[in-house]
Amino acid sequence: MAAVVMAANMMDLLDATIVNVAGPSIHRDLGGGATTIQWLSAGYTLAFAVLLIAGARLGDIFGRRRLFLIGSAGFTLFSAACAVAPSVGVLIAFRALQGAFGALMIPQGFGLLKEVLDDDELQKATGLFGPVTGLAMLAAPIVAGALVEADLWGTEWRMVFLINIPIGLVTLPLAIRSLPRGIGRPGMKLDVTGVWLVGLALVAIIYPLIQGQTDGWPVWCFASLVAGAGLLMAFLRHERRREGDALIEPSLLTNRTYLSGIAVMLGLFGAFGGLLLCISLFGQLGEGWGPVHAGLTLTPMVVGMIAGMAGSMALVARLGRHLLHLGIVAIAVGAATLALTIAGADSATTWDLVPGLFLIGAGAGASIGQLFQFILTSVSMDEVGSASGVLEATQQLSTSLGVAVLGTIFFAVFKHHVAPQALEITAWACMAPLALAFVLVFRLPMHAREEAAA
């Protein structure tokens, strides 16, 4: 069963990041505006994040198994639809629908595992999610580059979406056979007002961050950001007042460990996801590399991540949360190394990027690989549906924010300067969310098995 849940997570993560490499090829084939590449990624992750919390609650109402199966089938169907999209607008719409069905599928995973596994087994299972997450994020660009450049049967970029179909066709029957037939709670209601508030808030924040640079940052962009922040605060106040049918269990909003972990995820995944996009853009748009070259350039990062994960498993018991600190510092040092290596250069080779990419990967492996365990120790069985939904939504939202903010910075600089300078400034910009994540790690328990005080 754990394999089915992890396969679903891998499908989502591959699909969320695979267009970083395929994006330039899609843009050349289908056209679109300057922000097309950002929207190919953000359209998926934004829809996913908006609907994910509701997906977790729907799992509580109708049964997690049922929602997992519906989500898996819809996700596979719209993967095929993306592969045959005739225009960039249709493709972005299908990407959003992929995200919507992913939002039904993904949040059921932790709840299904917690239904059948004891604490020790669950600890081992959840310990695998961090490494799987990190490796999927890094494997996706390499797989995408190989598929686009291979141009199997003349499919070009379309094969990056077709790859999900065999995975989905294998996962779905296995899920039917292995997932427990849990009982839903039809008496529980979906907080529709909460869904609208959080959905409007996230759209109001993400849309101007992506579109603002192209439109010249008109006044409406800043008004939308302010409105989004206000709607987000209204959503949190609304959830605190709800009882029984809140999208987020009220107890989670007072759980210091959980809230701190969510904030750490925002900074860490935002910096990492945004930087991955910008490295791909640097290679393909700036240096003229092919998709395989751009994907393989991330190999040092993959090697670093594997090394970081292996080291983290051996050191987490001794270092506790300080291991997360070391991982975040390694990412920051890697980003600084990347920036200093290409500073003032008119061009850069793959070999120039190796030291910085290896350090970024090692830091991500150490921190992302263990972060989930530190967050989930404070969540009870009654909270798991809501908690897992918010956790996954935060991961997707942080990636959307990273793509929006760092991608916008990259394009703004690239418009007037050479690609190395755009990547250099972007690498320095990611220090801000990393610093935020570093400070907030102090609010997590010293060791993953410690329960945070509510």
Same domain (yes/no): 84, 208: no
CATH number at residue 184: 1.20.1250.20
Instruction: Quote the CA–CA distance of 35 and 99 in Å, as a whole number.
Output: 19
Side-chain half-sphere CA neighbours of 228 within 13 A:
18
Same domain (yes/no): 236, 279: no
pTM equals: 0.77
Same domain (yes/no): 60, 154: yes
Distance between alpha carbon 52 and the CA centroid of its chain, in Å? 12
Q: How is residue 133 written in tokens?
A: 């997450």
Same domain (yes/no): 260, 289: yes
- Residue 453 falls inside a structural domain: no
Same domain (yes/no): 36, 52: yes
- Residue 130 falls inside a structural domain: yes
241, 275, 301 - which closes a domain: 241
pLDDT band for position 186 (50/70/90)?
low
Same domain (yes/no): 173, 207: no
- Residue 328 falls inside a structural domain: yes
Per-residue pLDDT for 140 more than 90? no
Question: For 236-284, what is each residue's pLDDT tens digit?
Answer: 888 888 766 777 777 888 888 888 889 999 999 999 988 988 888 888 8
Instruction: Quote the CA–CA distance of 248 and 246 in Å, as a whole number.
Output: 5
Same domain (yes/no): 217, 92: no
**What's the pLDDT score for residue 446?**
85
**What's the pLDDT score for residue 135?**
66
Other Cβ atoms closer than 10 A to 200: 17
Distances (CA, A) of 229 to 52, 261, 435: 19, 20, 22
Question: For 84-132, what is each residue's pLDDT tens digit?
Answer: 999 988 999 999 999 899 888 887 876 777 666 666 666 666 666 666 6
Nearest to 412 by CA among 225, 223, 206, 212: 212
Burial class (CB in 10 A: 0-12, 13-18, 19+), 73: middle
Other Cβ atoms closer than 10 A to 154: 7
Same domain (yes/no): 204, 273: no
- Residue 452 falls inside a structural domain: no
Same domain (yes/no): 55, 201: no
241, 272, 304 - which closes a domain: 241
Question: For 348-370, what is each residue's pLDDT tens digit?
Answer: 888 999 999 999 999 998 888 78
State the total domains in the chain.
Answer: 2
Distances (CA, A) of 396 to 51, 73, 292, 306: 11, 20, 26, 22
Same domain (yes/no): 226, 126: no
Q: Which amino acid is it at 171?
A: T
Question: For 146-162, what is each residue's pLDDT tens digit?
Answer: 888 777 787 788 888 88
- Residue 356 falls inside a structural domain: yes
150 contacts: CB under 8 Å, gap ≥ 6: 159
Contact 14, 66 (CB under 8 A): no
Per-residue pLDDT for 50 more than 50? yes
Distances (CA, A) of 131 to 9, 246, 339, 368, 373: 12, 31, 27, 7, 11
Same domain (yes/no): 66, 169: yes
- In terms of residue numbers, what domain contains 213? 192-241
pLDDT band for position 327 (50/70/90)?
very high
Instruction: Quote the CA–CA distance of 258 and 127 in Å, as a whole number.
Output: 17
Phi-psi bin for 202: left (phi > 0), alpha (psi -120 to 50), beta? alpha
- Residue 451 falls inside a structural domain: no
Same domain (yes/no): 237, 279: no
